[in-house]
Amino acid sequence: MTVGVGDAFLKMLATTSDRIRDMYQTLRPLMFKFDSEKIHNLSMKTMAKNPIVLRKLFKGLTQEQLRPAESKNLKWKHSIGLAAGFDKDAKALDFLDHLGFGCIEVGTVTLEPQIGNPTPRIWRMPEQNSLRNAMGFPSGGSESILPRVKRYKGQASLGVNIGKNKDTPLENAVDEYFELYNIFADYCDYIVINVSSPNTADLRKLQEISWLKDLLEPFKNIPNRKPLYLKISPDESIDSVISIVELAKESNLSGIIATNTSSQHEYDKGGLSGEPIYDLSKSVWSKVLEYCDDDFDLIAVGGFSKKEQFEEYFDLGGKFVQIYTSFIYQGPEILNLD
C-alpha cells in the first residue's frame, strides 16, 4: 500500500500522549486509503495554520537535549536538520522550528511556479523504511515563497534549495540559478544548488564537469556571498565525486550536500530514499568528508535512521546531517540522540 510523507504529522501525534496515540492508530488506516501526496498537503496546511496549537501538543527538544554544530559557514542549534523536500514552499517553518531541527531546508524552489510530474508520484515502502518519489520539483515559485522566507524568525537555520524549471534549457540554467540566488540570499542562512534530482529530465547532466564549471563560475567571486552548497547524487562514481568536490573547492563553494535520492533501484521511476540507500550515500559522503576543512563543509543526508549511524558520522568528523525519510517513519523523536 502506498502512503505519503504526510503521515510524519500523524507520527508526531503518536508521540505526545495516550490520547493522541490512540487517535493516530484510529486515523492511520483511514488516512492510508487516500492519495499520499494529498495527505501530506493536508498535514502541511495544518502545520501552517495552527503552529501555536501544535506547539502545545508536540514537545520540542529542550535546551539540554540540543547538540549544537558550528563551522566557519554554518551555525546550527542542533546537528540534525530537515532536508529539502518536506516543506517545499516554506509553509510550516514556525512549527518545524519548534521541534528542534538544527536547520530547515525549504524547496526545491523554482523561479516560476510549476506543478511537477504527473501524480501519483510518491510511494512509501514500509517493509524497507523507504520512500520513492518522482515529484519533479513542484513549486509555488520564487515570488510566492519569498514572503514566507522573509517572515521566518525561528532559531533553526534556514536553507533555500534552488533548482531550474523543467522547461528551462540546460544552457540557460546558469542564469536561472544565479537569479534564484539573488532573490533569496539576503533572507536565509545558506543556499543549495540542486543539480542532482533524478526526477527532472537531464538535470543531472549539470553535475558533469563541463556543465558544472560554467554553472558555478558566476558564484565564485560574489562579495559577501551567502554560504553556498552543491547537492550531489549518490549514483556518481567515486572518481566523479572527487572531480565534483575539487571543482566545488576551486569555485569557492562552502561545501557539499551528499546525497540526493538514488535512481539505482528496481522500480520504474523516481528517486529512492531511506534505509536502502544508506550505504550508497555513505560511500559518497565519506569520500567528501576527506576533503573538508575549516572553509569547506559536508552536510550528509541519505538513509540516516539509527543512533549508531549518526554517532559514526560524528566520530568521523562530520558536523551537519539532514534527515527526511526517517522523520516520516519515526517522527520528531529521531532528533533525540541521547
Confidence at 25, pLDDT banded by 50, 70, 90: very low
Dihedral of alpha carbons 17, 21, 27, 31, sign? positive
Residue 244, pLDDT score: 97
Confidence at 61, pLDDT banded by 50, 70, 90: confident
β pairing state of 271-274 and 228-232: unpaired
β pairing state of 130-133 and 271-274: antiparallel
- 292-320 tens-digit pLDDT: 999 999 999 999 999 999 999 999 999 99
Please provide the average confidence, as pLDDT, over all residues in the chain: 88
Asked if residue 310 lies in contact with residue 338, where contact means CB atoms within 8 angstroms, the answer is no
Asked if residue 3 has pLDDT above 50, the reply is no
> Of 334, 335, 327, which is closest to residue 131 (Cα–Cα)?
327
Confidence at 21, pLDDT banded by 50, 70, 90: very low
Residue 111, pLDDT score: 98
Phi-psi category of 226—alpha, beta or left, where left has phi over 0 and alpha has psi -120 to 50?
beta
Phi-psi category of 9—alpha, beta or left, where left has phi over 0 and alpha has psi -120 to 50?
alpha
pTM to 2 decimal places? 0.90
Rounded to 5°, the CA angle 117-123-127 comes to 160
Asked if residue 23 has pLDDT above 90, the reply is no
Phi-psi category of 252—alpha, beta or left, where left has phi over 0 and alpha has psi -120 to 50?
left
Residue 17, pLDDT score: 44
Q: What gap in Å lies between CA 66 and CA 63, rounded to an integer?
A: 5
Asked if residue 224 lies in contact with residue 252, where contact means CB atoms within 8 angstroms, the answer is no
Torsion on CA atoms 109, 112, 118, 122, rounded to nearest 10: 10
Amino acid found at 81: G
Could you tell me the domains of the chain?
A: 62-335 (3.20.20.70)
Average pLDDT over residues 165-189: 97
Q: What gap in Å lies between CA 60 and CA 158, rounded to an integer?
A: 18
- 146-162 tens-digit pLDDT: 999 999 999 999 999 99
Asked if residue 32 has pLDDT above 70, the reply is no
- 109-157 tens-digit pLDDT: 999 999 999 988 998 888 899 999 999 999 999 999 999 999 999 999 9
Report the catalytic residues: 197
Dihedral of alpha carbons 315, 106, 275, 283, sign? negative
Distance between start and end Cα atoms, the chain: 33
